[in-house]
Amino acid sequence: MDESNQFEQHRLLLSQVAEGSEPAFAALYAMYKNSVYNTALSYLQNTVEAEDVTQDVFVKIHASAAFFQGKSSVKTWIYRITINHTLDQLRHKKRQKRFGDFVQLFQPGGTNPSLDIPDFDHPGVLLDQKEDARIVFKAIALLPEQQKTAFILAFIEDLPRQEVALVMNVSIKAVESLLQRAKKNLRSSLDFLLPDRRV
């Protein structure tokens, strides 16, 4: 199936979802569940939170299917909803962490491990690469939002640069620049996250 056909098929499915068709919603879910879940997982680095976001994203897709204007492809629209929702979730987590740090100031010696960023093992990573992947995900978590989005979409989700630009609503040149800066920041993060590898 060529791209424009697929584009139209997905649009048709979404209009059927807007009319209340359950099979259309099930088909749309089957097509995009992995993209939504894996994108959320790369940002949040927590399977339970990623599933919560996936749930919220599909509820939102169902609720706003009637308002889809067709200015972008369904895929781009779904990625945008996912990223916006995930970034909101991340900001909420950061606020919680800041509050936790503030509370800790008044509790000397007390720790709140639930608010720390734990080691994350992505289920899709090969066993012999798990250690390195854990470090890379830690470094990704330290990136600024825009660089993080560009890196996740381009390298982990493996989207073409043009699609990344559409999802992020920026030019392809801007995506390239974000990716360069992201890689530069990741490399410098690796220096202190993996000091024993510096030869």
Partner 1 sequence: MNENWKDDVLNCVTGISKAEPNSLLYHTIREKIIYNARMKPSVVKKPYLALAAACLALVLTANIWIFNQSNVTSSLPTDYPIDLANFNLY
The contact set with partner 1 (CB under 8 A) reads 22, 26, 29, 33-35, 37-38, 41, 47, 50-51, 54-55, 58-59, 62-63, 122-125, 129, 132-133, 135-137, 140, 155-156, 158, 183, 186-187, 190, 194, 197-199
Dihedral-angle region of residue 83 (phi above 0 means left; psi in -120 to 50 means alpha; beta otherwise): alpha
Write down the least CB distance from residue 193 to partner 1, Å.
Answer: 9
CA 51 to chain centre: 12
Q: d(Cα 125, Cα 140) in Å, to the nearest integer?
A: 15
Residue 35 vs 112, nearer CB to partner 1: 35
Write down the least CB distance from residue 101 to partner 1, Å.
Answer: 29
AA letter at 25? F
Write down the least CB distance from residue 39 to partner 1, Å.
Answer: 10
Residue 62 vs 93, nearer CB to partner 1: 62
Write down the least CB distance from residue 129 to partner 1, Å.
Answer: 4
Residue 20 vs 110, nearer CB to partner 1: 20
Write down the least CB distance from residue 174 to partner 1, Å.
Answer: 21
Q: d(Cα 157, Cα 142) in Å, to the nearest integer?
A: 19
Residue 91 vs 197, nearer CB to partner 1: 197
Q: d(Cα 95, Cα 109) in Å, to the nearest integer?
A: 21
Nearest-Å Rg of the Cα atoms of the chain is 19
Residue 87 vs 125, nearer CB to partner 1: 125
Torsion of CA 88, 93, 94, 95, to 10 degrees: 90
Q: d(Cα 82, Cα 62) in Å, to the nearest integer?
A: 13
AA letter at 111? T
Write down the least CB distance from residue 153 to partner 1, Å.
Answer: 12
Residue 56 vs 167, nearer CB to partner 1: 56
Q: d(Cα 169, Cα 178) in Å, to the nearest integer?
A: 13
